[in-house]
A and B are shown apart, each in its own frame.
Chain A
Amino acid sequence: MELFLTSQSLNPNRAERLQNRLLQAKRAFTTRHVDCNQAERLVRTGATPKAGDVILARVTSIGQHPRIENIHGRRGQLYVGDEIIVAYGNRYAPDQFEAFVPTDLDECDLVAGGGVASRMTRKHASMKSPTKIEVIGLLARQDGTALNLADFAIRSSAAATRPQTVIFVVGSSMNAGKTTTAGGLVHGLTRAGFRVGAAKLTGTGSGGDLWTMRDAGAVEALDFTDAGHASTFGLKGEGLEKIATTLLGKLAAVGVEVAIIEIADGLLQSETAELVQTANAKGWHDGIVFAAADAMGAAFGANWLAQRGITPLALSGLVSASPLAAGEAAQSAGLPIATLADLRDPIAVTKIVFRDHAALREAA
């Protein structure tokens, strides 16, 4: 057996000891762009954490999230005592948790498997208690400034632009079928001959949706974590706009011709509502596909959008899987239904995406 010498010092200093410790830790998806070599010390007391700050933490009890998604997308098992590298962020997930970045470095919760540290305030009745983590310290530079996801974000170009065709996917609620709809659009349009990219502008950091887009054929898939945020709950106008313009600009820069852009949660969620209206006002997209969980959600959503001067290209999502519910939705909303098969079909999907807006408004 050959023995290899490493560059590790026999008497490592504090920064070297920290680097060795970080190498052993389980590093979460949200922190995949962070250059941990910049960390020279841990700040353990006296700091007020901010969203995006990166921490080394220890798992103290296993709850709702028994696994953590690593920087490569693999969901690895967690054990009590594991040291993990995660980022602070808020969470808004009606089917899971509401949580906020704490104001101290005391014990908090792992509120998302993608690696979001926060303090849970409310949870869905079906949820277990969150996995608990003890904060060992903020990863910091020599001067004490914390490493933050924003320090490693994609930079938006000076001349903001966007792909030629941009389609937004918005929905009636969490788990209404938005990601499936977006994946279907990506796949169908890729088969139709286009270079397709995808982005998720809001939500909580997790690789699952990005892998779905990649698997569907997206040449590039980005989300708000690429723009320096572990989650977007609580962000307001300027922050959301910067995420949108940064990600759209990046997709354009890599030659994406058609971009499929997903916005998390439902239209009644405040960031989603704000973003949909801003996007429409600023001409960020060429159309919206509305994913609804059921016919009532479809009718309400179509009406909500119509009140703001927006006519979706089609209704899709869970409601489209049921011919009866889809019929109710189409009749009440006056909009065409796009099933998953339609979205994945290279001819049918182009009829939806390139639909004549004036005719659509007239029909609705």
Chain B
Amino acid sequence: MLQSLRRVEFIPAPSPDTPDCFVSFAGPHAPTLVTIHGISRNAAEMATRFALHAAFEEVNIITPLFERSHFGKYQLMQTRKAQKTNSGQALFNLLQHFEAQGEIGAGKVMLFGFSGGAQMAHRLAMLYPERVSRLCAASAGWYLLPDRDLPYPYGLGEGCPVAVTDGFLDVPTTVLVGSRDTRIDASVRQDPVIVQKQGRHRRQRADTWVRLMTDQALARNQAPNVKLVTLENVSHDFGLCVREANLLDHAAAALLL
């Protein structure tokens, strides 16, 4: 008589070089969406909201939990200590584990990130486009610019962990940002190089990155694969963006064909 909908489960890290995660599997033949949390680390909430949204009913949802103790600089895919596994590699290890378990199929995954999670998601798509089918980056604090003269993590120059191809221009990408996401607090980095190149707040930075990515594509005679969607009357809160600006509907439009 009483109903129970799709369940989300917490899975402890299967090995030291993988993160804990929240998952809801739809089957090995279903597409897989990786959703990445911001610094509030609301992984359970994020996994649950995606799993219960009708558009993602037939989608495997995997939300890694990048805890501060192990993955303190997860947004940048960097580590505090040289011998540690970075968040990007840890995520690939996790996906490989679930492929081996038969929970998901092999191949590209869709990526969604919010805030710090959007930072990691778009960096992952730029560095490893062969692993990503589509990207939706919501409310990132700042961006990795398609500029090979800027050092990593600001650009693709010195220190970039991989030799980046132009493949990232082929990944269909949607950037979401709240129309009121203009507040500058301690969580919005104000490094001079970021402010100078991208602007002072998240909305300016989203505009800038989409414009630069568009310019890159046009310079290579490619049709731009990136677009900006502004969420009206919301600021920087995942729950509020879901409830008041239909964030998940926008994510579904961006990610699902």
Contact = CB atoms under 8 A, between A and B. Distances in A.
Specify which of A165, A353, A357 lies most central, judged by the most chain B CB atoms within 10 Å of its CB: A165
B45 A192 contact: yes
Specify which of A193, A283, A351 lies most central, judged by the most chain B CB atoms within 10 Å of its CB: A193
A164 B2 contact: no
Contact of A193 (B12, B52, B65, B238): B238
A351 B9 CA distance: 9
A160 interface: yes
B2 A346 contact: no
B43 A350 contact: yes
A347 B67 contact: yes
B4 A162 contact: yes
A161 B2 contact: yes
Contact of A194 (B1, B2, B22, B45): B45
Given A164-B52, A194-B45, A257-B48, A351 B4 contact: no
A353 B52 CA distance: 17
B11 interface: yes
A354 B1 contact: no
Interface residues of B, number: 25
B239 interface: yes
Contacts of A161: 2-3
Given A164-B48, A193-B42, A193-B238, A355 B10 contact: yes
A238 interface: no
Interface string A187-198: 000001110000
Interface residues on A, range: 20 to 34
Specify which of B1, B8, B40 lies most central, judged by the most chain A CB atoms within 10 Å of its CB: B1
A284 B42 CA distance: 26
A283 B65 contact: no
Contact of A192 (B1, B8, B20, B42): B42
A316 to B, nearest CB: 17
B168 to A, nearest CB: 31
Nearest to A244: B2
Interface string B52-74: 10000000000001010000000
B7 interface: yes
B162 interface: no
Interface string A145-176: 00000000000000011101100000000000
B186 interface: no
A36 B44 CA distance: 46
B8 A282 contact: no
A362 interface: no
A160 B1 contact: yes
B1 A282 contact: yes
B5 interface: yes
Given A164-B52, A347-B65, A347-B67, A354 B5 contact: no
14 contacts: A161-B2, A162-B2, A164-B5, A192-B45, A193-B238, A194-B44, A194-B45, A346-B41, A347-B43, A350-B43, A351-B10, A351-B12, A357-B9, A359-B11
Given A162-B4, A192-B44, 16 more contacts: A160-B1, A162-B2, A164-B4, A164-B5, A192-B45, A193-B40, A193-B44, A257-B48, A282-B2, A347-B65, A350-B43, A350-B44, A354-B10, A354-B22, A354-B44, A355-B10
The 10 residue pairs across chains A and B that have the minimum distance between CB atoms: A193-B45, A350-B44, A354-B10, A193-B42, A162-B2, A356-B9, A160-B1, A161-B3, A351-B10, A193-B239
